[in-house]
Amino acid sequence: METTKSEQDVKFMEDIIGNTLRHVEVEIPSKKAGRPRVLPALALWAGVLVCVLRGWSSQREVWRLLSVQGVWHFPRYTLTDEAVYKRLEQASQDILKQVFEAVTASLYVALSNHQATNQASWCNFACGVFALDEMTLDKLFRRLPSLREDPGTKLAGKITALFDVRRQLWRGIAYQENPQQNERRAAREMLDYVPKGSLLLTDLGYFGFQWFDDLTQAGLYFVSRLRKKTTFDIIEVLYQDDTVLDALVWLGSYRADRARFSVRLIQYYHNGVQRSFITNVLDPRLLSLSEIAMAYARRWDIEMMFNLIKTHLKLHLLWSSKLTVVLHQVFAVFTIAQVILGLRSDIANQAKAEPFEVSLDLLVRWVPRFAADGLDPVATIVERGRLAGFIRPSSRLKLSLPSLDLARYAFPNSFVPLQRPPRYAGKT
């Protein structure tokens, strides 16, 4: 019998994800004892993942898939779209979160020996390099007809996410229903995924003296831009010329707002614009000016991943205003994204390329097609990827930066962070 497109899609996912769905508690308790479900839970969640993989923008498409085409080895089911929607609404919020976590753990093991060619000696003092950021989901009234007449600003919440820059995989995600929630409060949940001795890359949304002190206290390194108008006092100049300053400083010159731990301030001019960074890596021999700039450039990796999530996997088109259904969609999208990223890493490793040289846009569009044609997507792209433009040279990390001679640095006797009594102004 001829294999359907739906079966091919799900087989492709099954080959990559393995039997994750089989090992996660995916069944939804029936409210009517003794009455079996018409639609098995495994078929429902497989249908959700297939719809995300195909870029479909409505939970109704899940119903159409299940009732018209069928998924995997399951038959077509005679049921209403309302029945599918109620199943999604009643299901535990944690089901697809568990699937995402299981897929993540599996990929971390499978790709443990994969390392991009430029990563072997990059920031080798740190046991890991992670980017932290958040994404606010679109206004519901813009997308849902039932809410278009609402003049308010209802939001679907926001996602705080942690991205493993070295492994090029999502490490953890957390959803906050309130999009106005303080960024650093949500970020602290993500720190559970960050091993001690790792380097954390954050943007100005996380800038805060207490946040930096807490990271130092926890044994984590960080690199951040310096917020404009932030006051500081220089403790010791390590290097200075007409265009570069590398110094140990106290953040906060006023009694009302000052950090506990000393940090390192790096200022230089690039294309006529002054760049200012701070880090708690105090020894320039561990992290030079050029490496700091390079590290912060890699923070853009997580922005590219958010683009994959919102644009290519259509998370900007929410299926529902119900929180439970929103969460199902969020974790389904991140699961498929994780699979795509795992494929990209595998392709890059075999092709001896950097992961960001492999086009995510083309992977999303072409990998299911290759699988549907009976081709091994990884082998096909490794063999033909450069010819077909799947793998292309990238210049995003070719930065023009001043090269400083460490022999001209003044090194103190110790690089242990200095401490003083802190004062944290404003809300924390």
Q: Give 329-344 pLDDT, tens digit per residue.
A: 999 999 999 999 999 9
- Residue percentage of the chain with pLDDT more than 90: 43
Within 8 A by CB and 6+ apart from 403, the residues are: 290
C-alpha to C-alpha distance for 311 and 175, rounded to whole angstroms: 19
Instruction: Assess whether pLDDT exceeds 80 at residue 111.
Output: yes
C-alpha to C-alpha distance for 8 and 2, rounded to whole angstroms: 10
Quick one: pLDDT at residue 58?
83
349-361 b/e (C-beta count within 10 Å ≥ 16 → b) = bebebbbbbbbbe
Residue 110 DSSP one-character state: H
Quick one: pLDDT at residue 23?
56
Q: How confident is the model at residue 212 (pLDDT cuts 50, 70, 90)?
A: very high
Backbone angles phi and psi of 198, in degrees to 5? -85, 160
Mean pLDDT, residues 406-415:
89
Kindly give the residue spans of alpha helices, DSSP state H, lying in 138-226.
140-143, 183-190, 209-217
Quick one: pLDDT at residue 12?
61
Mean pLDDT, residues 178-205:
85
Quick one: pLDDT at residue 123?
87
Quick one: pLDDT at residue 210?
93
pLDDT digits (tens, 9 = 90+) for 304-322: 999 999 888 888 888 887 8
Q: How confident is the model at residue 377 (pLDDT cuts 50, 70, 90)?
A: confident
pLDDT mean across residues, the chain: 84
Quick one: pLDDT at residue 254?
73
Residues 246/252, Cβ–Cβ less than 8 Å: no
Quick one: pLDDT at residue 260?
96
Quick one: pLDDT at residue 235?
95
Instruction: Supply the angle between the helices 41-53 and 95-110 in degrees, to the nearest 10.
Output: 60
Mean pLDDT, residues 221-239:
95
Instruction: Assess whether pLDDT exceeds 60 at residue 25.
Output: no
pLDDT digits (tens, 9 = 90+) for 154-183: 556 889 999 999 999 999 999 887 766 666
Q: How confident is the model at residue 420 (pLDDT cuts 50, 70, 90)?
A: very high
Q: How much is the pTM?
A: 0.88
131-159 b/e (C-beta count within 10 Å ≥ 16 → b) = bbbbbebebbbebbeeeeeeeeeebbbbb
Residue 152 DSSP one-character state: S
